[in-house]
């Protein structure tokens, strides 16, 4: 705290610095304008840096009491034991099929371990997250889902680890059920899914749980994935495999995700409505500064959001400075998690740029001595209809906004927009995984994988592919090796990187990426979000592949993570410790 001004500055690796500032003000009893939170480059978040942890509050309170800076640092083991956790959903579900193998209904019962208390790191009235998406990509009329929470002596739960509020759990359930149903009726898993997919002409689609899917083309994504991986070829190899050798398994997941919360009428976090914001100023020289309420954790916001402005106004992306994470220098926003940056913050960016473009039109009319209705816009300039040689660039207009604006017009070229989405967005995709399972020791290896994602309009394909590749790796880790549990004495198993394994380049499979593009009809630029799609869709695909390899041996389910001793036990009919 500055003893003269009374300003408190908190350096915090926060995914939601503005929300954290408000909550600090409420807890500490300080005027909110006297609190400044700076969230620097934080090296990943994945939802775990949305909650306010006790260490944050204690360090702040201690600094206020002793009048000196206080730094709180936890060890790796302390972090793994005490950080709010995701998953730990115990799920049972079933599907009803008619005589033509169409899904008619779904039933699911969920028991959620909430830890010692709820972390409140997701929309306030959705304690089970957005589990409503559990009907997935399929067209049927009825679903009955119950969710119960249990408080235990674990760390606070309720954190959506790299998914849009428990969407990974929901997707995992429906994709395991779909795969199991296909096997039980003797139907190819891709054909069973295609038979039951929502058709693209049915969108917008009202799901049985009340979500309105914005757009989709599930058959297109499935067809591309099958073509890219040579699905029929792998099925033929599986059919002709050596029964005493490694067993081939082929797993599919055709997921639908829900991201981009708000709308604020339904979604808030501890009472704070889930809109987001963008403030844009164009300087007299035509350079720009963009300030955002969201907060990057390595997603490339500085590139992506600058590109949105560049596309809307024609200012070079390199001439746009992007600022996030400083509550004194950015507009109020709810932050980055649940893949909401582009669906909400990106939309705010596009909208504020369009506001400035409308003012720029008035300035251009003044400079060109023409009516606004007689002007045509192409990226970077306004010209007079029928006289393309008569034009002014956005840089000319920016300079005039400060030096030659018409009488009665407010000077400057800047604005702010708070975007409250009318609906969430629904990215989707099909992932197909081929594995080989060693019968001798239960180990399994991914030998081929294709991931086809549809996240609407892609702003920067390279960044999107990076997000997907990282997510596929995390999904592999969750399916194959990562597990935090406790022994009989209450000791945490998974409190270090010897027990809680992180995949390296050696273990990580190679991925082949494909794309389809189905724009969101309500988003200003048609984008849907992609940061968590791969961690939502891929775990079920990996597990489905292993179970598919073992189906002929009578194995119908193995709980995730699919550890080698679990596979060996399932193959040999031996009960093993989890």
Q: Domain boundary residue among 392, 419, 446? A: 419
Per-residue pLDDT tens digits for 162-210: 888 899 999 999 999 999 999 999 999 999 999 999 999 999 999 999 9
Q: Which of 15, 114, 307, 467 is catalytic?
A: 15
Active site residue 312: no
> Is 2 contained in some domain?
no
**What is the C-alpha to C-alpha distance for residues 523 and 427, in angstroms, rounded to an integer?**
12
For residues 19-34, one letter each, b for 16 or more C-beta atoms within 10 angstroms of the residue's C-beta and e for the rest, the string is bbbbbbbeebebeeee
Q: Is the peptide bond before 352 cis (omega within 30 degrees of 0)?
A: no
Query: Is residue 413 domain-shared with residue 526, that is, in the same domain?
Result: no
Whether 368 is covered by a domain: the verdict is: yes
The yes-or-no answer on residue 162 being catalytic is: yes
Q: Quick check: helix, strand or coil at residue 41? A: coil
pLDDT tens digit sequence for 537-561: 999 999 999 999 999 999 999 999 9
Judge if 410 and 543 occupy the same domain: no
The answer to whether position 72 is within a domain reads yes
Burial bucket for residue 395 (CB in 10 Å: 0-12, 13-18, 19+): buried
Q: Is residue 357 part of a domain?
A: yes
Give me the mean pLDDT over the 402-431 stretch.
98
Q: Pick left, alpha or beta for residue 145 (phi over 0 → left; psi -120 to 50 → alpha; otherwise beta).
A: beta
Q: Are residues 74 and 105 in the same domain?
A: no
Question: Of 385, 404, 419, which residue constitutes the final position of a domain?
Answer: 419
CATH of the domain at 433: 3.30.365.10
Let me know if 532 is a catalytic residue. Answer: yes
Contact 276, 345 (CB under 8 A): yes
Catalytic residue among 21, 87, 162, 281: 162
Q: What is the CA radius of gyration of the chain?
A: 26
Which of 397, 419, 441 is at the close of a domain?
419
The SS3 assignment for 181 reads helix
Query: Which is nearest to 176 in space by CA: 576, 559, 569?
Result: 559
From 21, 307, 532, 566, the catalytic residue: 532
Whether residue 34 is found in the same domain as residue 129:
no
Residue 98 lies in a domain: yes
CA distance 501 to 542: 17
**Residue 207 counted as domain residue:** no
Query: Among this protein's residues, is 78 annotated catalytic?
Result: no
Q: Are 294 and 253 in a shared domain?
A: no
- Do 135 and 102 share a structural domain? yes
Q: What is the mean pLDDT of the chain?
A: 95
Position 578 in a domain: no
Catalytic residue among 87, 114, 134, 163: 163
Q: Is residue 552 part of a domain?
A: yes
Residue-wise pLDDT for 483-504, tens only, equals 888 888 888 989 999 999 999 9
Of 499, 544, 494, whose CA–CA distance to 82 is shortest? 494
Prediction pTM value: 0.96
Domain with 465 in it: 89-197+216-259+425-572
Q: What domain count does the chain have? A: 3
Reported as half-sphere exposure (CB side, CA atoms, 13 A), residue 11 has a value of: 8
The answer on 547 and 528 residing in a single domain is yes
For residues 414 and 435, state if they share a domain: no
Among the ranges 145-159, 232-246, 474-488, which has the highest mean pLDDT value?
A: 232-246
- What pLDDT, on the 0 to 100 scale, is given for residue 565? 96
Domain co-membership, 386 together with 240? no
- Are residues 383 and 406 both part of a single domain? yes
Same domain, 139 and 255: yes
pLDDT confidence of 84, banded at 50, 70, 90? Answer: confident
- Those residues whose C-beta lies under 8 Å from the C-beta of residue 183, and which sit 6 or more positions away, are 189, 548, 551, 556
Share of the chain above pLDDT 90, in %: 83
CA distance 356 to 506: 50
Structural contact between residues 463 and 471, judged by C-beta atoms closer than 8 angstroms: no
Query: Domain check: are 367 and 233 in the same one?
Result: no
């Amino acid at each position: 705290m500055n003893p003269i001004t009374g300003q408190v500055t908190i350096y915090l690796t926060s995914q939601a610095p503005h929300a954290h500032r408000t909550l600090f003000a409420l807890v500490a009893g300080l005027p909110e304008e006297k609190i400044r939170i700076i969230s620097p480059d934080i090296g990943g978040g994945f939802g775990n840096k949305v909650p306010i942890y006790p260490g944050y509050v204690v360090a702040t309170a201690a600094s206020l009491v002793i009048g000196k800076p206080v730094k709180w640092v936890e060890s790796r083991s302390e972090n793994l034991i005490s950080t709010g956790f995701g998953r730990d959903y115990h799920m049972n579900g079933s599907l009803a099929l008619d005589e033509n193998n169409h899904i008619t209904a779904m039933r699911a019962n969920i028991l959620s371990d909430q830890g010692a208390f709820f972390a409140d790191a997701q929309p306030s009235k959705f304690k089970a997250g957005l589990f409503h998406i559990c009907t997935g990509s399929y067209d049927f009329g009825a679903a009955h889902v119950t969710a119960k929470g249990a408080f235990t002596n674990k760390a606070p739960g309720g954190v959506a680890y790299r998914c849009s509020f428990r969407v990974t759990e929901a997707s995992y359930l429906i994709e395991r059920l779909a795969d199991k149903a296909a096997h039980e009726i003797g139907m190819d898993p891709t054909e069973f899914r295609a038979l039951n997919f929502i058709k693209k002409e049915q969108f917008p689609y009202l799901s049985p749980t009340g979500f309105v899917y914005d757009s989709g083309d599930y058959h297109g994504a499935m067809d591309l994935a099958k073509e890219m991986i040579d699905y029929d070829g792998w099925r033929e190899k599986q059919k002709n495999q050596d029964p005493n050798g490694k067993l081939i398994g082929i797993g599919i997941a055709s997921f639908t995700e829900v991201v981009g919360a708000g709308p604020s009428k339904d979604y808030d976090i501890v009472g704070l409505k889930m809109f987001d914001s963008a403030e844009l100023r164009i300087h007299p020289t035509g350079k720009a500064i963009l300030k955002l309420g969201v907060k990057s954790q390595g997603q490339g916001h500085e590139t992506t959001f600058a590109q949105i402005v560049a596309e809307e106004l024609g200012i070079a992306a390199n001439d746009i400075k992007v600022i996030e994470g400083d509550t004194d220098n950015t507009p109020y926003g709810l932050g980055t998690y649940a893949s909401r940056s582009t669906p909400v913050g990106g939309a705010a960016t596009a909208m504020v740029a369009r506001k400035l473009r409308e003012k720029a039109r008035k300035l251009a009319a003044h400079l060109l001595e023409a009516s606004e209705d007689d002007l045509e816009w192409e990226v970077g300039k306004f010209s007079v209809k029928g006289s393309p040689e008569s034009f002014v660039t956005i840089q000319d207009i920016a300079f005039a906004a400060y030096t030659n604006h018409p009488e009665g017009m407010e000077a400057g070229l800047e604005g702010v927009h708070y975007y409250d989405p009318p609906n969430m967005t629904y990215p989707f995709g099909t992932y197909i995984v081929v594995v080989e399972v060693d019968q001798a020791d239960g180990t399994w290896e991914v030998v081929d994988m294709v991931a086809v994602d549809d996240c609407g309009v892609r702003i920067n394909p390279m960044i999107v592919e990076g997000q997907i590749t990282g997510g596929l790796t995390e999904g592999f880790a969750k399916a194959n090796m990562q597990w935090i549990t406790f022994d009989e004495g209450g000791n945490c198993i998974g409190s270090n990187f010897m027990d809680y394994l992180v995949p390296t380049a050696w273990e990580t499979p190679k991925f082949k990426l494909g794309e389809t593009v189905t724009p969101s009809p309500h988003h200003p630029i048609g984008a849907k979000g992609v940061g968590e799609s791969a961690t939502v869709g891929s775990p079920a695909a990996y597990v489905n592949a292993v179970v598919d390899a073992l189906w002929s041996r009578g194995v119908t389910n193995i709980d995730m993570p699919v550890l080698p001793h679990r596979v060996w036990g399932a193959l040999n009919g031996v009960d093993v410790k989890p």
